[in-house]
Amino acid sequence: SLYSTERYPITIISSIMILANTESISEEERCKLLSERITENFRPIIRNKKSAQESAMIMSCLKNHFIFYNLSQAELENVKDSMFYAMVDQGQVIFEKDQVGSCFFIIEKGSVEIIVDGVVKKELKPLDGFGELALLYQHKRTSSVKTQS
């Protein structure tokens, strides 16, 4: 499968809110739009439909995240609908500290390290989210994030 752990060991789901209403365009057109706006180091995988399992996993993470837990069901659905898969290799830096961000991420498979000034401060695992300040404010990144090898 496209998202198998053998081919893509780290699977993340990402969101750019500006593209929340792109379901009516083709997957190829949506991928091109995303690629033009993404500042992080990954390649989007675009599918216009999410499975029930994918949707449930995203909603569970959003409902438990400090930024999103107070949103209405409709607002949560809007965030979920804007999310897309991303291809990330093991040992790959997703973004660097002080880089202007464009995406929020949820980890589906694998893990990432949060790095500040060369020191690993935290490890995030499946269903953890990161990068929310960039989603809300296009804020500069306060840490670097790298997938674990």
pLDDT digits (tens, 9 = 90+) for 12-55: 555 544 444 445 556 666 666 666 566 676 666 666 678 898 88
Per-residue pLDDT of 62-84, as tens digits, reads 999 998 889 999 989 888 887 87
Please tell me the distance from the alpha carbon of residue 4 to that of residue 29, in angstroms, as a whole number: 24
Nearest CA to 67 among 16, 112, 116, 129?
129
Kindly report the pTM of this predicted structure: 0.75
Do β-strands 119-124 and 112-116 pair in parallel, antiparallel, or remain unpaired?
A: antiparallel
113 in helix, strand or coil? strand
- The per-residue pLDDT for 101 is 81
Residue 139 has pLDDT above 90, yes or no: no
Q: Which of 3-8's residues contact partners 24+ apart within 8 Å by CB, and which partners?
A: 3/45, 3/85, 3/108, 3/109, 5/109, 5/110, 8/87, 8/88, 8/89
Contact 101, 142 (CB under 8 A): no
Residue 135 has pLDDT above 80, yes or no: no
What is the DSSP code string of 114-125? Answer: EEETTEEEEEE-
Percent of the chain with pLDDT over 90: 22
| Averaged pLDDT, 113-129 | 93
